[in-house]
Amino acid sequence: MKNITIINIMITKVIIIKITILSFSLFLLAGCDSDRFSQVVEVEIPEHESRLVLNARFSSLDTGVTALVANSLGILDTSAYDIPEDAAVRLFRDGEWVGGDFFFLPDKLKYFLSLDEPLGTAPRLYRMEVSAPGYEPISAEQVMPVPASIQSLRVERDGAIDGEGRRADGIEVQLNDPADEENYYALAFFYEISEGQPGGDTITYSNPVYASTLDQVVQYGYHYEQVFTDKSFNGSSYTVSLYTYQGALPEGQGNARLVARLYTLSRDAFLYDLSLRQYYDALDNPFAEPVTVHSNIEGGYGIFALSSVAEESVVLD
């Protein structure tokens, strides 16, 4: 009986202690308003100096190149971008002027230059210069990267597993990576269907093929679905395994081919594409860290990027 009394006393003391702590907590909360938990910090944003912005991405296959020229705006500026129609846009190759000035296309709001032949894969130095009234001139340089080669391209119907564990058509691309240098890559696919016409002409239709991969070496870019570096396989061959969704590849047509393009990117091309994807992924996400999109323009903002292309194709059964 004595033990029961001691236990009851102990339980009563615990209850009293809990009630006291709860009452004290409520008292503290009652004495606090929302202002006590907030603080206003005024940040002085420096005045923005508007500069020219260039966006020019060229590949070794291009026989016509385009460039977007605009101006930069401050973070709080809500005015429209200025796209000057009288800018001087020039491209140089190993110090020699290529093809004359770009001319403005009003319907596309971009500048265009037609070339006599593709830029090609030779590792030559390219330089872009842009000037416009009211702005400081800008420039950027890039060396055309040497393309890696595609050793093999293979397609297997129902030969892959997608991200949800379902059967999908598999694509395997094996590439040869040059040794003793850091290389940057992207992949793109499309299929072609050729049809003969009366008179002996042939019309070829092309359609993009969207592929995904579970390969941890590969990342998703913005302009390219797959971008990656050779850090884990420098100087050796590497096979990227991908899958396509149901109906992505035509069946039952003997005149259909899958074409794989392996882009060897300049470092700036890789960093720009990856950071642009990360920027849009973080947009309107309150939990994401701010992302700065990569720029390589001297005196302004934007990107001048080059890529060289290797192609391989295979017949689709």
Q: Which residues of the chain have pLDDT under 50?
A: 1-19, 21-22, 24
Last residue of a domain, one of 143, 174, 207: 143
158 is in which domain, residue-wise? 149-292+308-315
91/163 same-domain check: no
Residue 191 in domain: yes
Residue 7 in domain: no
Residue 281 in domain: yes
181/221 same-domain check: yes
82/125 same-domain check: yes
Cβ proximity of 70 and 51 under 8 Å: no
Q: What's the total number of domains in the chain?
A: 2
> What are the distances in angstroms from CA 3 to CA 7, 13, 16, 172?
6, 16, 20, 78
What CA–CA distance (Å, rounded) separates 138 from 210?
A: 36
> What are the distances in angstroms from CA 241 to CA 41, 151, 217?
51, 14, 11
pLDDT, residue 10, reads: 41
Instruction: Return the CATH number at 272.
Output: 2.60.40
Closest CA to 279 of 223, 216, 211, 212: 223
The H or E element that residue 138 is part of is strand 138-143
Which tokens hold the place of 218? 């590969």
Closest CA to 148 of 186, 204, 115: 186
Contacts of 205 (CB under 8 A, 6+ apart): 192, 193, 194, 195
234/120 same-domain check: no
Instruction: Return the CATH number at 138.
Output: 2.60.40.10
pTM comes to: 0.82
pLDDT, residue 38, reads: 67
Residue 303 in domain: no
